[in-house]
Amino acid sequence: MTRICVISPFTGLAGDMLLAALVDAGAPLDAIRAAVTDTGLTGWDLTVPRVTTHGLTAAQATVSVSDHATTRKAAELIAMAGRVRNRAVADTAVAALRAIAEVEGRLHGEHPDEVHLHELGGHDTLVDIVGVAAALHALEVRTVHCEPLPLGTGTVRTAHGLLPCPAPATAELLEGAQVTGTNLTGETVTPTAAALLLALGADYRPPPAMRLSATGYGAGTRTLPDRPNVAVVRLGEVEADVRDLVVLETNLDDVTGEVLGHVAELLLERGALDSWITPAVMKKGRPAHVLHALVTPEAAEEVERLLFAETGTLGVRWTTVRRTAAARTTDTVLVHGMPVRRKHGPHRGKPEYDDAVAVARQTGLPLRAVLAAAEKEQP
């Protein structure tokens, strides 16, 4: 059984709303506080009282501070998040903060480490990001799905003055996410929430069938006149992901190996669940290759257009298939002091190739030795 989390951003999403919803769904507050304490942050307290908004009871995360520093360099926050003892929690928090730093650096023409995070440099950002990562780990969530995010209109006030909604940093962090319009004005999705979704690898496709185990409601600080300002999370268990998919394939006898490899990688970037190449012999004995892409029905037309444009093929075949994907979990181990993620299915585990290659290049060890060490390492 694998536990998944489905986020429903009813009126939008902020880091504190997601944190409160996870606590409402059963995440232990003590584990969250302990993870934040690991960072070395001082002068704070986290409480999650219950509030009622438009007749709906929800949790609301409140950070009380006695140290009112509101601006820190990104490098400082990243270093603090890296002190969290649980490596999986630390890795998620660091990834979210790095994403914010890189976006802010590009927008302001600064090195990411030197970026001063103004509104995002206070206690709330670190508590929210580390807290969400710790809550999901404590709940043993392996996969996060998110419904389309409603984007508000108008402006938001920042340290740099009035900016359009969504704020530029948020808009860049949300590239690739599923969004939708709303009649709400102002900021409905915060940079912190967008960075968390990015770091968590949130899946914006419909989630698989699951056995619902808990629901949590997290309230924001903004009061809306006609609806509760809440985000909803639903936790559930799935045994296997069974769904109907589409295989797109085309025969190619006039495309070089370099182009084939490029297109196979591009297919994955543009939404294919998998892509692969098989050798073939066509009519008149011509050597060729068959390029395949496994896609959801929703993504099939876009991927087909990509196949036509990139290969110059004259035809693409569609085949509907049913795929059963076994439940899987992930963890992270250290090999020579460097993180290597591992996927675990019902019958075996496997280190992430890219992580193992990074360790091999850094240490000079053979790749097979790094892979063997990662398989044996205890989490």
Q: What is the pLDDT of residues 129-170, one digit of tens each?
A: 999 999 999 999 988 999 999 999 887 776 667 878 888 889
What's the number of domains the chain is made of? Answer: 3
Q: Which of 239, 267, 296 marks a domain boundary? A: 239
Pair (235, 353) in one structural domain: no
Pair (248, 356) in one structural domain: no
DSSP 256: -
Pair (162, 305) in one structural domain: no
Pair (87, 30) in one structural domain: yes
Q: Evaluate if residue 13 carries a pLDDT over 60.
A: yes
As a dihedral over the C-alpha atoms of residue 100, residue 102, residue 106, residue 108, rounded to 10 degrees, the angle is 60
Pair (37, 71) in one structural domain: yes
Instruction: Report residue 178's pLDDT band, with 50, 70 and 90 as the boundaries.
Output: very high
Pair (307, 187) in one structural domain: no
Q: Evaluate if residue 65 carries a pLDDT over 70.
A: yes
Interval 174-191 mean pLDDT: 92
Pair (270, 312) in one structural domain: yes
Read off the amino acid at residue 180: T
Q: Give me the pLDDT at residue 51, please.
A: 96
Q: pLDDT tens digits, residue range 251-284?
A: 999 999 999 999 999 999 888 999 999 999 999 8
Percent above pLDDT 90 for the chain: 65
**Residue 109 neighbours by CB distance under 10 Å:** 7
Q: pLDDT tens digits, residue range 196-223?
A: 999 998 989 888 888 999 999 999 999 9
Percent above pLDDT 70 for the chain: 94
Distance of CA 31 to the CA centre of its chain: 21
Q: Give me the pLDDT at residue 344, please.
A: 82
* Structural domain for 334, as ranges: 329-376
Q: Which of 324, 343, 360 marks a domain boundary? A: 324
Global pTM exceeds 0.75:
no
Q: Give me the pLDDT at residue 337, please.
A: 86
Mean pLDDT over each residue of the chain, to the nearest integer: 90
Pair (109, 224) in one structural domain: yes
Interval 328-344 mean pLDDT: 85
Pair (280, 371) in one structural domain: no
Beta bridge partners of 330: 343
Q: Give me the pLDDT at residue 142, please.
A: 84
Pair (317, 348) in one structural domain: no
Q: Checking DSSP bridges between strand 149-153 and strand 349-351, what pairing results, if any?
A: unpaired
Q: Give me the pLDDT at residue 69, please.
A: 58
- Which residue shows structure tokens 């398989």? 375
Q: Give me the pLDDT at residue 110, please.
A: 79
Element (H or E) spanning 274, and its range?
A: strand 274-281
Q: Give me the pLDDT at residue 119, please.
A: 52
Pair (290, 222) in one structural domain: no
Q: Give me the pLDDT at residue 247, please.
A: 97
Interval 337-357 mean pLDDT: 87
Pair (56, 132) in one structural domain: yes
Q: Evaluate if residue 346 carries a pLDDT over 90.
A: no
Sequence-ordered list of residues with C-beta below 8 angstroms from that of 364, at least 6 positions apart, any chain: none
Q: Which of 239, 270, 301 marks a domain boundary? A: 239
Euclidean distance between CA atoms 186 and 203, whole angstroms: 25
| Phi and psi, residue 237, nearest 5° | -110, 140
Euclidean distance between CA atoms 26 and 144, whole angstroms: 16
Which burial class, exposed, middle or buried, applies to 320 when counting CB atoms under 10 A from its CB (0-12, 13-18, 19+)? exposed
Sequence-ordered list of residues with C-beta below 8 angstroms from that of 171, at least 6 positions apart, any chain: none
Q: Give me the pLDDT at residue 379, please.
A: 66
Q: pLDDT tens digits, residue range 86-133?
A: 988 998 999 999 999 999 888 767 777 777 664 544 688 899 999 999
Interval 338-342 mean pLDDT: 90
